[in-house]
Structure 1
Amino acid sequence: MSSTIQDLCRAISQNTSYDAFAPSLSAQQWEMLGTYLQPLPLPPGQMLIDQGAQDRTVYFIQSGTLSVHVIGSSGQMQLAILNAGSVVGEGAFFSRLPRSANVIATGPAMLWRMTSIRFAEMANRQPALALEVTLALGAVIAKRMVNKPKRVAVT
């Protein structure tokens, strides 16, 4: 399945959840952002983020559903379900701390990933674009932190 940045843009624009990733980007800026992202098809049951891992990649969900859960002393606890148009991995992206939860595809999913190296490149070459993406990711974290059930789901 071939995927384009317009497919991701459409999914993000249709996301009406409280903690939606909602950057204010022009069509040209979306195309530019696409040059810093890599498409990532994810099969059902595939682990995307491993709790405790040292990784700062942030993921944008084009299609599918992801389950966010932690493993603790009392077993596994589901924290959130994330759908198309959402973002995951934003906590470690900013904090540089280990991943706080596991994230697994509940069915087939299509994601776009941005590594910290690609983000640094974008910040150097397209600072206005990097700033808008940063502010939009920060807004997701802020909204998740205010919403108690989603607070622990900042990955």
Structure 2
Amino acid sequence: MNVQQLAQAVSDLQAKDALPVKLTPEEWKALAPYLTVRYLREGEPLMHEGDCDRQLFILADGELEVRTRGHVIATIKPGSVVGEGTFFSGQPRSATVTPSRPGVAWGLAWERFDRLSHKHPRLAVDLITGLATVLAIRMREAVLVGHFA
């Protein structure tokens, strides 16, 4: 899987909480070295509720189930971001995320984002603005449906 496939998944996603970044192919190539690729196996969790690792993922292929307190609260499609809350806050993860189909996710750890922000500040600002937009939309939705504690 190359970063252009990830870019296409992000571009193709038609969802209220889609990542609103309009990066050029050159910007995606500049971002790629800061990302790690995770090959996902069905049923093998990508992240666990309560963990504190400051890493978010962008799903390029497959499907993820988000569970909290044993209940599925969301299904993540290709092009979506997951883990943005802990990425920003450093607080424990609020959900367990498990692939319901095999796939590929690209991860961005906080430390790598910090390095990206020094080397490519404009790209980092564009990315962080998009991630903050996703977070704000999801927080608003959680408040409206009562999943916010």
TM-score (normalizing by structure 2): 0.94
> Number of paired residues?
147
Q: Which of 50, 69, 79 is residue 52 of structure 1 equivalent to?
A: 50
The one-letter code matched in structure 2 to 1:124 is H
Q: C-alpha offsets along residues 4-49 of structure 1, whole Å, 9 cap, x if unaligned?
A: 0000000000000000012121111111011111111111101011
Map of 2:38 onto structure 1: 40
Unaligned 5+ runs, structure 1? none
Pair 1:24–1:150, CA change in 2 (3 A): farther
The one-letter code matched in structure 2 to 1:66 is L
Pair 1:56–1:150, CA change in 2 (3 A): farther
Pair 1:7–1:132, CA change in 2 (3 A): same
Matched residue of 2:131: which SS? helix
Matched residue of 2:34: which SS? coil
* Aligned 8 A contact 1:37 1:113 in 2: yes
Map of 2:111 onto structure 1: 117
The one-letter code matched in structure 2 to 1:57 is Q
Map of 1:134 onto structure 2: 128
TM-score (normalizing by structure 1): 0.90
* Aligned 8 A contact 1:39 1:113 in 2: yes
Unaligned 5+ runs, structure 2? none
Report runs of 4+ in structure 1 exceeding 3 Å deviation: 148-153
Q: What CA RMSD, in Å, does the superposition of the two structures yield over aligned residues? A: 1.5
Map of 1:98 onto structure 2: 92
Identity of aligned residues (%): 33
Q: In 2, Cα distance between the equivalents of 1:19 and 1:57?
A: 18
The one-letter code matched in structure 2 to 1:111 is A
Q: What is the deviation of 1:152?
A: 4.1
